[in-house]
Amino acid sequence: MQKYIIIHPIRKNKKYSVLVWDKNKHKYVYHLSFGDIRYEHYKDKTPLNLYSHLNHLDKNRRRRLYYLRHKPTNDKNSARYWSNKYLW
């Protein structure tokens, strides 16, 4: 069983990082980063809400620029999942 925690970014030019906690191993097994600070997003819905100043709130742009290029996924171990869920 895994638990996911959104934190401040670990990598340069990223908006957020997600730590993946493995309950069986009792440790963090890896992290992934998502979002790029150089670009806007639809709306920052993370608990940290660090980049709300980059919200554009344009539904047409959201559909045209993001969803047509990046299909939704249910894989929580991918940056695409976290970006879809919390930024778009």
- Across 56-81, average pLDDT: 89
Mean pLDDT of 62-76: 85
Domain ranges of the chain: 2-86
For position 44, what pLDDT does the model report?
97
Tell me the β-bridge partners of 16. Answer: 34
Residue 84 has pLDDT above 90, yes or no: yes
Say how far apart CA 60 and CA 16 lie, in whole Å.
25
For range 74-80, the mean pLDDT: 93
Q: What's the Cα-to-Cα distance from 54 to each of 13, 27, 57, rounded to whole Å?
A: 14, 33, 9
> Which has more pLDDT, 1 or 63?
63
- Tens digit of each residue's pLDDT (9 = 90 or more) over 32-52: 999 999 999 999 999 999 999
Are 18 and 32 a contacting pair, CB within 8 Å?
yes
CA atoms within 13 A on the CB side of 13: 3
